[in-house]
């Protein structure tokens, strides 16, 4: 008997397979198609023959933990203890799984804000917890009245994602003030803050939970080297959490993966000495602006993209089909793959929206845009 009977093949796999079958340009899955920084690959080559191929410490390679603590202090003015408050994880997904397994008990509730990434719900179900899916408003910002109405004494955790996948929106100061009020009202509530796109923001910078003194003692922040440095295949990230919560998370982590790839950790610790993450926003903003300008003459209506490397577009002026049907037909008939937004909603809410990934080479974006403008 399945513990996750409602789960099947993900839409990401479906759309990528369909794209491969039809030779379509794949703007569906969220990973770049351009090369990794040669500084990082050179480091990897140089350290390959060093004695770094055995188990790393369970919590992470100490020099990397120190570099992360320095990065958090530099970016967010927060001082954290490297070995006590930082855990290196096998990607953000593993970190999220370990956090939920460690902190959520059977029958406790976890609030998820839809549309949401698909890795949040399964670990809640596997703990015996109850996912409570709350719809964001039509502009993909929190509906605080709905959230307040949903949270009660059984609610153990709220998961927030900022910058937001799939919409590309970022939270405002007023949203964090509301979150702080919510935590004041519910002393058992903790925050899981998914900030994997933290360095990919544009006109306005995202507000990190790292900067919120009132709530960071009850918050776990998830970050991703895969997203930050476009090395998604390395599957390496980290979490920042106060010691009392981290002790519990490490108990799960040590029996889930024990430790993370030692070579990747050493390489990243050296790379962090050379790279400036503050430049990433401008790099991806150029790609966002290029893509938006290329499809400006199309029949798609572009929604705001404030962070992440995703662009949401409405096809309401093109078709009355469901977003899933339209996205599949677009692959077959027009040779461009996207992700329909309704799959991120537990309710299946369909606003006639699809999501494109613009973390691609200029040639890829140009060719895709040409096809999109012909629809």
**DSSP string for residues in 290-348:** HHHHHTTTSSPEEPP--BSSEEEEE-TTT--S-HHHHHHHIIIII-EE-EEGGGG-TT-
Sequence-distant (≥ 6) Cβ neighbours of residue 178 within 8 angstroms: 142, 144, 147
Q: In this predicted model, what pLDDT tens digit does every residue of 172-225 receive, in sequence order?
A: 999 999 999 999 999 999 999 999 999 999 999 999 999 999 999 999 999 999
Say whether pLDDT at 327 is over 90: yes
Report the C-alpha gap between 289 and 277 in whole angstroms.
20
Domain ranges of the chain: 11-30+278-372, 50-271
| Residue 27 near residue 18 (C-beta atoms within 8 A) | no
**H or E element: which one contains 25?**
strand 25-26
Q: In this predicted model, what pLDDT tens digit does every residue of 88-140 receive, in sequence order?
A: 999 999 999 999 999 999 999 999 999 999 999 999 999 999 999 999 999 99
User: Topology of domain 50-271, per CATH?
Assistant: 3.40.640
Both structure tokens of 30: 């969220």
| pLDDT range class, residue 262, cuts 50, 70, 90 | very high
Task: List Cβ<8 Å contacts ≥24 apart for 289-294.
Answer: 290/358, 290/362, 290/365, 291/356, 291/358, 291/365, 291/369, 294/365, 294/366, 294/369, 294/370, 294/373
| Residue 163 near residue 206 (C-beta atoms within 8 A) | yes
- Flag the least confident range among 11-25, 73-87, 248-262, 327-341: 11-25
Q: What residues pair up with 336 in beta bridges, in sequence order?
A: 25
CATH number attached to the domain at 11-30+278-372: 3.90.1150.10
Say whether pLDDT at 6 is over 90: no
Report pLDDT for 9: 78
| Residue 226 near residue 206 (C-beta atoms within 8 A) | no
| pLDDT range class, residue 1, cuts 50, 70, 90 | confident
| Residue 189 near residue 156 (C-beta atoms within 8 A) | yes
């Amino acid at each position: 008997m399945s513990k996750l009977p409602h789960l099947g093949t993900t839409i990401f796999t479906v759309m990528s397979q369909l794209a491969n079958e039809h030779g379509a340009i794949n703007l569906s899955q969220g990973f770049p198609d351009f090369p990794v920084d040669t500084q990082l690959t050179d480091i990897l080559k140089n350290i390959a023959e060093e004695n770094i191929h055995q188990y790393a410490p369970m919590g992470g390679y100490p020099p990397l933990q120190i570099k992360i603590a320095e990065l958090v202090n530099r970016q967010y003015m927060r001082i954290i203890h490297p070995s006590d408050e930082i855990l290196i994880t096998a990607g953000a997904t593993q970190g999220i799984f370990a956090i939920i397994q460690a902190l959520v008990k059977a029958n406790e509730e976890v609030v998820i804000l839809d549309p949401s990434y698909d890795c949040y719900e399964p670990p809640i179900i596997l703990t015996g917890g109850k996912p409570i899916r709350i719809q964001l408003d039509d502009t993909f910002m929190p509906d605080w009245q709905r959230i307040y109405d949903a949270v009660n004494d059984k609610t153990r955790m709220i998961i927030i994602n900022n910058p937001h996948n799939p919409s590309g929106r970022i939270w405002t100061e007023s949203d964090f003030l509301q979150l702080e009020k919510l935590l004041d009202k519910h002393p058992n509530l903790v925050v899981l803050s998914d900030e994997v796109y933290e360095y990919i923001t544009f006109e306005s910078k995202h507000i990190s939970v790292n900067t919120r003194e009132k709530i960071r003692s009850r918050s776990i922040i998830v970050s991703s080297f895969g997203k930050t440095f476009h090395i998604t295949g390395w599957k390496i990230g980290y979490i920042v959490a106060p010691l009392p919560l981290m002790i519990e998370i490490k108990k799960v982590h040590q029996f889930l993966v024990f430790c993370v790839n030692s070579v990747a950790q050493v390489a990243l610790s050296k790379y962090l000495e050379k790279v400036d993450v503050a430049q990433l926003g401008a790099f991806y903003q150029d790609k966002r602006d290029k893509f938006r300008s290329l499809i400006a003459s199309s029949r798609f209506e572009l929604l705001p993209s404030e962070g992440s490397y995703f662009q949401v577009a409405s096809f309401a002026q093109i078709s009355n089909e469901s977003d899933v049907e339209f996205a599949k037909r677009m692959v077959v008939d027009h040779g461009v793959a996207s992700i329909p937004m309704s799959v991120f909603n537990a309710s299946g809410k369909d606003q006639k929206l699809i999501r494109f990934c613009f973390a691609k080479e200029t040639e890829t974006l140009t060719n895709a845009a040409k096809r999109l403008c012909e629809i």
